[in-house]
Copies of this chain bind each other. A is one copy, B any other.
């Protein structure tokens, strides 16, 4: 299929990983490491091997799955493993997994001996349409998300729908939220097309379009000084809801579920503080609520949520800054919003499911 250039790095689509062999030869790497978690090692490594015709000259580094393991202790473990396995500066790391693996593997690679090459093979929908582009690597410290990381581009990215077959439905739905976001902030026709799709039967073309949108945005602003901030639409409130849920709910929200909540709230803020019309607000709300499960944001959690928003990485000088829709398909950023409005938007969300 197609190939996208992103700041000198190529994102390859549906190539069955063919170009990897040439990349490894050209790079004259001294050793190849594949980094996976136990799930992707079980489900994706066999696909990887088959695509690469039993290419086997690599060492496997395995880690436990999940966000709770995207931390500095695991990094230290991987750095040491690389050293024990004799990885020098000409080693190559292939990150095979979801965003946890590509974020953490990217961070480890970008700092091991001051940086070795890495290739990302995102295996979840979320990591394909979002984490695959933009060069962000990162890990959490004390549960503060991505508190530490770098901006480093992988040598190449491979997006293969074959890997998605084993991804649990709830994880697919989580990634789908980022695609909806891409439509809302940058391409209304795309948003319309997505409405006609089912999140678990997505055509490869629509995944491609999502990556393309993200790529256009980050290319215009690699270091997130300005326009890139529109990618945070739904994420200021969404992240806070996600953290809160993680610490308080028995069955916590996925990232995408939280972003779905955040997008509805921030659509309301866009109507209140920017130029989104009431009809558009209604459209966004109805569609998202039809795809994502209901959630209740307790009134007594509002203070805690505000505090979480305060500590968001994207703030500057203590102000909570939002990215808001001007209309469906267009987004602005650095919007200051009052705490009263934030609370009102949370109530708006709750009202959807009030009976």
Q: Contacts A88-B313, A316-B88; is A114 near B80 (CB within 8 Å)?
A: no
CA distance A114 to B112 in the complex (A): 16
Q: Which has the most chain B C-beta neighbours within 10 Å: A148, A316, A318?
A: A148
A contact residues, total (Cβ < 8 Å): 34
B72 and A316 form a contact (CB under 8 A)? no
A79 and B147 form a contact (CB under 8 A)? yes
Closest residue of chain B to A139 (Cβ to Cβ) is B111
Q: Which of A81-98 contact B (CB under 8 A)?
A: 83, 86, 88-90
In the assembled complex, how far is the CB of residue A322 from the closest CB belonging to chain B, in whole angstroms? Answer: 16
**Complex interface bits, A258-291 against B, C-beta within 8 A gives 1, otherwise 0:** 0000000000000000000000000000000000
**Complex interface bits, A113-149 against B, C-beta within 8 A gives 1, otherwise 0:** 1110000000000000000000011100110101111
B141 and A76 form a contact (CB under 8 A)? yes
- Residue A151 CB within 8 A of the other chain: yes
- Residue A355 CB within 8 A of the other chain: no
Contact residues in B for A79 (Cβ distance below 8 Å): 141, 147-148
A149 and B111 form a contact (CB under 8 A)? yes
A residues lining the B interface (CB < 8 Å) = 30, 72, 76, 79-80, 83, 86, 88-90, 110-115, 136-138, 141-142, 144, 146-151, 313-318
